[in-house]
Structure 1
Amino acid sequence: MTEDIQKYSLFIKNSKFFFGRILKRDSKTRNVELELNNQKKTICKIKDLILEVSLANSSTTNNNIELSDLWSDLSNKTQIISTNEFINFALNKYEISNYFDLDNLIEKLNIDYTFFKILNSESIYINSKEVVEKINLKKISKINNQNLNKEFINKLKNKSKIDHIKYSSQYDNIKKFFGGKKQYDKKFINRINEELNLNNNSFIYFLKDNNYFSMEQIIAMKFNLENTFLYNFNLSEINKINPAEISAFTVDDENTKDYDDAISIKFHDDYVLISVHITNFSNLIDYMSEPEIFARNNMQTIYSPYGNYNLYSDEIIEQISLIKNNIKDVISIVFKVDKEYKILSYELKKNRILIEENYSYTNFEYLIKKNQNFQFLKSFTDYHRSKRLINADFAEFNNDISLFLDADQKLQIKVSNLESHKVISELMILANSYTADFMQLNNIFSIYRKQDESANLIVDSIESDNPFKFFRNVSPIKVSTDNGPHCGLGVDNYIQFTSPIRRYHDSIIMRQLNSFLDCKDIFFSKEDLDNILKSTNSKLEISKNKSKNVYKFCALKYLLDNCKYETDVHVYSVLKNDYIIYLSELNIFDLVSKNQFKKIYKINDKISIKYDFIDLFNLNIRNIEEIL
């Protein structure tokens, strides 16, 4: 029986072989139309033709074509071989006489780069033994990883316990996905969502509800936050011999562990001493030690209802925090006050204090009404607030809105409008402003916060269930080593040093003051501080953005958990194509296209809206419509 012999052509295009029958030739473009074995067609350049060969169209094939055999024969002879010579060598080695055998060889060359690499239409590169071994190891690793992916997804389906070490690659991919990294395995994540019928929101809940990740860990992954401390650090020995010189108390949130500041009040016949004490760990944690560098890289503590992302490890915080029944080293700002609440004098000194109590704001609110000392403290801060506000751009700010977990671990809203907040806030402003004056008068280089007068300030008061104000045309805060007025607060000089556990720059000022109060010497020169600001300003901005995003994530989760798909918003700003809207209940902003609304709105307008999707992953509300 006569075999059907046909003429076939072999081309190289885009570093791949194309093998089939030429259907058409175009002499003008010098292109050919090639029909491949799957009846698909492609265009090739005539110049990329490798060879033409007549082959039987037989279905009897040689199943022993292995690229490893071909490589073994060629690898010891040369490293680069001409394409023609290579193909002819393969034809002879495997005695290829029919179309299907050559097509089989070509297909293997196109999909397997272990042994050979097409350099161009004229040359083939023969991989070395080392390269082949390396590629084979990668292939084995890829196969193993694919198997682990499959096992991992099955365990998710069955809600089984998963070994973090065995499936470390799968966990890393989930972390990269949440963190918005480009290098994650998209096929793996898509397969999880497809097989478990999840979207990005439900993926978050699935991982949390089945204890694969805590919400604290999910937030850390999502916003690239550090919540593990890899350093092994022993604090310097605390001096436990010297007794405390004064007793004090703290006032903070219920769940606080990082107590930076404490207060004491002592009455004398003709005056009262009111002291603000700031923890001083200058001699416990060395500058540029591992914990200090970690704090420098993260700049500020970021708070969430599910757990905080601190500047220091829990072990260190326990040692430096002003915790009840402990004696701690502090820097004290002591105000000598007359019975009319006027400050007669003040001094800064190093102290050792005994913390008698850690009050919550709620407890302290109650005690203000019962305790004469605390009543005096409230009257003192009221007096100085009213004096300060005469020169301040801002008479008051919006109430602080935060989120917390109730006893059932559900998110709840907390509005901070207690008198106790105002008392502590004003004491911190006094401490910071008087310390700034002290540093300026004593030529101690510092990190100052200035704010020019907001000459064109607009304050719009919005009456609603949650009354608030919009502040526009506010002068920016300037942070530098040059002192100057802070017009927003109405003070001549201002620094922030009352939270050295929570804010990195505060700890720098703490070290500077500690050195000066010890020996009238400075720890940092002006150039040192300028360099610190230069190297940390961008880190601080990144940290602030992370903090805002963590809060917005939790706020949106509150809406999602409570199935709140309708709310009232106000227009903060009108852009060319969008509105910036404000959800006062949660103190968050969002961007919405004007096209989503039927009416035209102006700033401060109230809009009742509904929406059908709260996107935790992209931190926005989608498919918004107004309720008319």
Structure 2
Amino acid sequence: MGEIAIALLNKELKFCELSSESSNNTRIEAKVGRNKRAKIPYKNLIYRSGIHVNDAIDPQKFSSVATQMSKTLDLHLAWELLSQNLIENETEQIDVYEISDLLDFEKDPYLIAAIYLHIHKDSLFFSIYENGLLIHSPQNVEAVKTARVRSNRENEDEQTLIKSIKNQSIPSNPSDHQSQLIQYLKKFVILGESYSRSAKAIDLINRISNNSQGDLQKTGFKLLEPTGIINLDIPYELEKLEISTKFSGNLIKKSEILIPLDYEWEDLTHLPTYTIDDENTLDRDDAFSLDKDNNRIWIHITAVASIVDSGSIFDLEANNRMCSVYLPELTIPMLPRPISENISTLQPRFRRLCLSLRLDLDEKSKIIKHSFVKTTIETNDSLTYNDADNVFSNPTEQLHNLLSKIEQFTTNSKSERERQGAYSFNKPDVAIKISEAGKVNVSMSSAHSRSKDLIAELMIVYNAKIAHFFMTNQIPALYRSQDDSRNSHSVAAIGPLDWYLASRSMKPAKISVASGRHSGLGLDLYCQATSPLRRFTDLCLQRQAIEYISKSTNTYGPKELSNIGVESEIRVREIHGVESRRRKYWLLRFLEQEILNGTLPNRLVATVLENDSIRSALIELTEFPLRGRCLIPQEFKPGNECELKLNGVDLWDLTAQFSLL
């Protein structure tokens, strides 16, 4: 029969029965279970008892006796005597028999085994090291005691926090550890398993929810929302994309002391010049003028490149952000507000530098000559779209003739593009506003009006002409192209089904240093350079144009521009996704507020977009731009209308539950 021994297996002390040794004396074979054998490295063989298995004793009986003895041991006195001469923070290797002698155990195998078991379970004074023991210095012992006190306190804090969250609250004065755990939970709900502390957060969620199955992020949200830790009114999507809602103090300070340079650019301050924007717009980057007996139109784009130098801290910030973010509850400009809403915005009666497009027209409002010019302008007034539409409607208004003349040009330009295959979506615009009290207001307006169409076409003309400017002069640029759609459709999509089918057939626009046709706009060449305050790629292209006009050189080479284009496309797509999610969130909040909890009738008209036997029908509300799914009979075909009842909304999944009336 083999000798009973203690070995370290999988970080645990195990009693085993030794048998044969390897020829090179590096391992020894042992029976570690009823029918299990293992080859144990000698370094893992902690203690050989000298007792061999017989009818009266086996490893299990030996283990039982030694384990019971280990529970009554107190090694404190032995440690005090043995550690007297240790240097601060030092450890020293000792023999187990030094401890047993002090305890008057002599060399009793059961008691020696008990010492090892006790130390393995509680390594305050001693620890197992290879085949021997280490004694810890008083300083190390105190450090371990302090750590244990902290650990016990933290365990108590965790239990208290778990109990509080189960009761839909948090401790009134959370400890530092509890605050840290709350942050772990919150971050996991926002970021998911990509969060570095997700394992701890998942452990807490499982303990709070008694090992709930399914989507743990959603489970975490449901646990935290009643406590106030998580509030979906806050756009956490920004944190997921690492988009800061604020600029650094240093960046703000430096932007506040910027002084616009007064270059000797062509002075157009004598021309009547106007901007037309939404009523809440503060970053006005485009304006227009009419001169030379109404036969010359100027389209002005604020010269942000004259303020924001390539490689400057403002340029690096814009490069990092890539574009402005427009959420119903929040606007985050690409550039600090002192730039985007002050020294670079086209405010009335302030001199501003612009990169302007001059269009010379014939008597039929056709372009006979055009050029890009570095100019200085001063806008006379800033109109809202409503203001401008009222001017169109009233022939006695001072600006009626000016706007009408420009409209004649933009109408001709748009008609020509439509002949080349351009199409548009006549989808209404949704405006969502949130009051300070949290009340949501939703209003719908036409995407088209005479003033909106006028400004949109002026921007398209500018972008098309600057694309030709880059191509003609062989200047590296970022072109936007779009392949022909998969299916033919009308020039203007009208109604939910048309919008749905047209959007499915359209191929996505691409951005590249290689030029290509933009089928959606009916143009052979197209760039975007009209929003240098709001899009980084527009700012880069404006730099390219100004640099070439000034020095016949380029700021960027093709490779650098291509890299910027790729990064921009990815980032802008992510940001547009956040903007879309937030609009949908607030629209669902509005329906919950006004229909489920308010006074609006719970009867919603919807258009069927898809309806097959495989899944619930896809529908779009007629009054609000919201799609969802609902179980309706097969006789409802795409394009048919139906009346629905709203049964609930899920603000986490951004879905609404409907039933047929």
TM-score range, shorter chain: 0.7 to 0.9
- Give the deviation of 1:415 after TM superposition: 3.2
State whether structure 2 residue 200 is matched by structure 1 residue 200. Answer: no
Deviation at 1:433, TM superposition (A): 1.0
Asked whether 1:14 is paired with 2:10, we answer: yes
Which of 186, 193, 201 is matched with 1:174 structurally?
186
Matched, 1:430 2:461: yes
Equivalent residue runs for 1:570-609 within 5 Å: 570-571=608-609, 582-583=620-621, 585-589=623-627
Q: 2:246 aligns with which of 215, 221, 228?
A: 228
Partner of 2:333: 310
Aligned residue-pair number? 587
Q: 1:58 to 1:381 in 2, by over 3 A?
A: closer
Structure 1: distance between partners of 2:222 and 2:272? 50
Quick check: 2:426–2:494 contact (8 Å CA) kept in 1? Answer: no
Identity of aligned residues (%): 19
**Structure 2 SS opposite 1:470:** helix
Deviations 1:259-302 (A, max 9, x none): 22222233x43x33322211212132221223322222222222
Which residue of 2 is the match for residue 23 of structure 1? none
Q: Distance in 2 between matches of 1:259 and 1:396?
A: 25
Q: 1:523 aligns with which of 525, 538, 555?
A: 555
After TM superposition, give the deviation of residue 349 of structure 1 in Å: 0.9
Distance in 2 between residues matched to 1:610 and 1:67, nearest whole Å: 78
Measure how far apart 1:255 and its partner are. Answer: 2.3
One-letter amino acid of the counterpart of residue 502, structure 1: R
Give the equivalent residue in structure 1 for 2:92: 77
Checking the alignment, whether the CA contact within 8 Å between 2:238 and 2:244 is kept in structure 1 is: yes
**1:287 counterpart = 2:300:** no
Query: Offset of 1:516 from its aligned partner?
Result: 1.6
State how far apart, in whole Å, the 1-side matches of 2:302 and 2:78 are: 70
Counterpart contact for 2:610–2:618, Cα < 8 Å: yes
Aligned mates of 1:338, 1:98 — CA distance in 2: 112
Match of 2:447 in 1: 417
Match of residue 433 from structure 2:
404
2:100–2:112 contact (8 Å) kept in structure 1: no
Measure the CA separation in 2 of the matches of 1:114 and 1:615. Answer: 56
Say whether residues 1:248 and 2:273 are aligned partners.
Answer: yes
Alignment correspondent of 2:654: 619
The whole-number CA distance in structure 1 between the counterparts of 2:133 and 2:616 is 57
**In the alignment, what sits opposite 1:440?**
471
Whether the 8 Å CA contact 2:91–2:136 is kept in 1: the answer is: no
Residues 343 and 421 of structure 1: is their aligned pair in 2 closer, same or farther, counting only changes over 3 Å?
same
User: Contact between 2:287 and 2:299, CA under 8 Å: does it hold in 1?
Assistant: yes
Are residues 492 and 171 of structure 1, via their aligned partners in 2, closer, same or farther at CA, if it must alter by over 3 Å?
same
2:414 alignment partner in structure 1? 385
RMSD: 5.3
1:300 to 323, 330, 336: 323
Following TM superposition, by how much is the alpha carbon of 1:449 offset from its aligned partner in structure 2, in angstroms?
Answer: 0.8
**What secondary structure is seen at the aligned counterpart in 2 of 1:227?**
coil
Deviation larger for 413-422 or 432-441: 413-422
Mapped partners of 2:584, 2:164: distance in 1:
33
One-letter amino acid of the counterpart of residue 11, structure 2: S
Looking at structure 2, the residues matched to 217 and 337 of structure 1 have their Cα atoms a distance apart, in angstroms, of 48
Q: Which moved more, 1:347-356 or 1:533-542?
A: 533-542
**Match of 2:563, as an amino acid?**
N
Structure 2, unaligned stretches of length 5 or more?
A: 17-29, 48-58, 211-218, 597-601
User: Which amino acid in structure 1 is aligned with residue 238 of structure 2?
Assistant: A
1:348 aligns with 2:383: no
Instruction: Pick closer, same or farther for the CA change 1:142–1:50 going to 2, 3 Å.
Output: closer
Distance change (3 Å), C-alpha of 1:75 and 1:290: same
Secondary structure, in 3 states, of the residue corresponding to 2:327?
coil
Cα separation, partners in 2 of 1:146 and 1:326, compared to 1, 3 Å: farther
1:272 aligns with 2:310: no
**C-alpha separation in 2, matches of 1:118 and 1:578:** 65
Q: Determine the structure 2 residue equivalent to 1:453.
A: 484
Aligned-pair CA distance for 1:13 = 5.0
Tell me by how many angstroms 1:507 deviates: 0.9
In the alignment, the residues of structure 1 paired with residue 492 and residue 77 of structure 2 have an alpha-carbon distance, to the nearest angstrom, of 78
Inter-partner Cα distance in structure 1 for 2:13 and 2:202: 27
Alpha-carbon distance, 1:601 to partner:
7.7
Q: Which residue of 1 aligns with 2:51?
A: none
How far did residue 75 of structure 1 move? 6.5
1:255, 1:609 → 2: CA distance? 35
- Contact 2:385/2:452 (8 A) holds in 1: yes
Q: Deviations over 1:32-57 (max 9, x none)?
A: 47xxxxxxxxx986778977437389
Is contact 1:433-1:495 (8 Å) kept?
A: yes
Residue number in structure 1 paired with 2:20:
none
Residues 470, 455 of structure 1: alpha-carbon distance in 2 compared, 3 angstrom cutoff: closer
Distance 1:137 1:488, change over 3 A: farther
Q: How far is the alpha carbon of 1:350 from its aligned partner? A: 1.2
Structure having the higher Rg: 2
How many angstroms apart in 1 are the aligned matches of 2:461 and 2:441?
34
1:604, 1:126 → 2: CA distance? 82
Letter in 1 for 2:361: V
CA distance in 2, matches of 1:100, 1:309: 71
Q: Given residue 398 of structure 1, which amino acid in structure 2 is its aligned partner?
A: K
Show the counterpart of 2:564.
532
Tell me the amino acid that sits aligned with residue 545 of structure 1. Answer: G
Measured in 1, the distance between the counterparts of 2:103 and 2:491 equals 86
Q: Which residue of 2 aligns with 1:508?
A: 540
Q: Which residue does the alignment assign to 2:389?
A: 365
Q: Distance in 1 between matches of 2:114 and 2:644?
A: 62
- 1:110-131: per-residue Cα shift (whole Å, max 9, x none)? 5879985888xx7889999999
Structure 1 residue 462: Cα displacement: 9.0
Rate the CA distance shift 1:503–1:118 in 2: closer, same or farther, 3 A. farther
1:311, distance to aligned residue in structure 2 (A): 1.6
Rate the CA distance shift 1:118–1:582 in 2: closer, same or farther, 3 A: farther
Q: Residue in 2 aligned with 1:186?
A: 201
Q: Classify 1:330/1:188 alpha carbon distance in 2 versus 1 (closer, same or farther; 3 Å).
A: farther
Letter in 1 for 2:532: P
Equivalence for 2:520: 488
1:116-147 deviation per Cα after TM superposition (whole angstroms, max 9, x unaligned): 5888xx78899999999998887677667668
1:335 aligns with 2:359: yes
Residue-by-residue CA offset, 1:461-503 (whole Å, 9 max, x unaligned): 9987998553132233221112232111111211111111111
Secondary structure at 1:431 match in 2: helix
Return the TM-score normalized by structure 1.
Answer: 0.74
| Structure 1 position 238 matched with structure 2 position 273 | no
Contact 2:425–2:499 under 8 Å retained in 1 = no
